[in-house]
């Protein structure tokens, strides 16, 4: 069921199942006061997790709790460490308030990048409320269930040389190298990907962002998993994204098999949470 929005930019659907689905990167809203700071609106929205909310739109039917922010990750990335520390030291990545896109191109006009005071303002306005809602919903669900699963939904282009070599597997499962979730849950998810013939890896290039690392606490009954999907699993990716061809349209026919696997994965998450093992 829909719940009163804790903030105007956060969408929250409350469910009773022991499953919280987080969708942090599909937002395309940029506050009017900031819009002129970016090189272009297309550049600012280029790295959104396109169509992921549509890909997982079956989640309410499982009575999952679903949380989504409408704010663009280029304004502030709610899946980054709020201190500004890199989640992947020594590797290329983007920050809390990113100043470049995934390929290293600047997001802001010269001299318009956010300073420390502006970053702190955005953190208080957008990052903290998102995590407050996650924490509150985890507490609500933990009062109903012995354990819960936090499933964090993401996608990314299949080939981004600045971030990783070659072509990314379709399914990239992250549990902070086993610290954020029971290995049995991660193995069950990987098994579903293998059964369907999707290339996959656990704790490879992407081991989970701040959402997974901060909220996952298996000893306290909270198991957090990030699923980073290569976009080719549900859309026809162009070889060179441009304003003329990106984002590519959502492809229901291409997405059908992946959706089926993802629905079974979420059902597995619920079964795991309900299990007494």
Compute CA distances 243 → 42, 44, 52, 161, 247, whole Å: 7, 11, 20, 20, 8
Q: Is the peptide bond before 247 cis (omega within 30 degrees of 0)?
A: yes
Domain range annotation of the chain: 10-26+49-66+124-274
Q: Is 240's pLDDT higher than 80?
A: yes
Mean of pLDDT values over 3-8: 73
- The total of other beta-carbon atoms located within 10 Å of residue 255's CB is 17
Hey, what's the torsion of the CAs at 98, 233, 208, 19, to 10 degrees?
120
Helix (H, G, I), strand (E, B) or coil at 201: strand
Check: CB of residue 12 under 8 Å from CB of residue 66: yes
Mean of pLDDT values over 21-29: 98
- Average pLDDT over the chain reads 95
pLDDT digits (tens, 9 = 90+) for 136-177: 999 999 999 999 999 999 999 999 999 999 999 999 999 999
What pLDDT, on a 0 to 100 scale, did the predictor assign at position 7? 85
Predicted structure pTM score: 0.96
Backbone phi, then psi, for 13, in 5-degree steps? Answer: -120, 115
For residues 170 and 44, what is the distance between their CA atoms, to the nearest angstrom? 25
The CATH class of the 10-26+49-66+124-274 domain is alpha beta
Check: CB of residue 245 under 8 Å from CB of residue 184: no
Check: CB of residue 211 under 8 Å from CB of residue 174: no
Q: List the beta strands (DSSP E) in 55-121.
A: 65-69
What pLDDT, on a 0 to 100 scale, did the predictor assign at position 117? 97
Check: CB of residue 151 under 8 Å from CB of residue 22: yes
Rg from Cα positions in the chain: 18
What pLDDT, on a 0 to 100 scale, did the predictor assign at position 84? 86
């Amino acid at each position: 069921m829909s719940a009163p929005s804790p903030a105007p930019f956060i969408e929250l659907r409350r469910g009773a199942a022991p499953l919280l689905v987080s969708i942090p990167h599909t937002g395309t809203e940029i506050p009017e006061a900031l819009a002129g700071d970016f090189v272009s609106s297309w550049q600012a929205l280029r790295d959104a997790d396109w169509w992921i909310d549509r890909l997982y739109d079956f989640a309410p039917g499982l009575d999952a709790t679903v949380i989504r922010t409408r704010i663009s990750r280029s304004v502030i990335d709610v899946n980054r460490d709020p201190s500004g520390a890199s989640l992947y030291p020594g590797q290329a990545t983007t920050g809390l308030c990113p100043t470049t896109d995934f390929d290293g191109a600047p997001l802001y006009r010269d001299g318009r990048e956010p300073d420390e005071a502006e970053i702190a303002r955005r953190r208080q306005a957008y990052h903290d409320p998102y995590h407050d809602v996650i924490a509150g919903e985890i507490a609500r669900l933990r009062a109903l269930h012995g354990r819960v699963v936090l499933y964090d939904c993401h996608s990314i282009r299949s080939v981004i040389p600045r971030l990783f070599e070659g072509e990314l597997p379709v399914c990239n499962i992250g549990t902070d190298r086993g610290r954020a979730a029971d290995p049995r849950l991660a193995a069950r998810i990987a098994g579903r990907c293998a059964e369907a013939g999707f290339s996959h890896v656990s704790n490879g290039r992407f081991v989970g962002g701040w959402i997974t690392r901060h909220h996952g606490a298996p000893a306290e009954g909270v198991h957090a998993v990030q699923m980073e999907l290569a976009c080719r699993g549900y859309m026809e990716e162009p070889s060179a994204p441009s304003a003329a061809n990106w984002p590519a349209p959502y492809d229901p026919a291409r997405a059908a098999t992946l959706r089926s696997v993802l629905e079974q994965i979420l059902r597995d998450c619920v079964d795991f949470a309900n299990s007494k093992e």
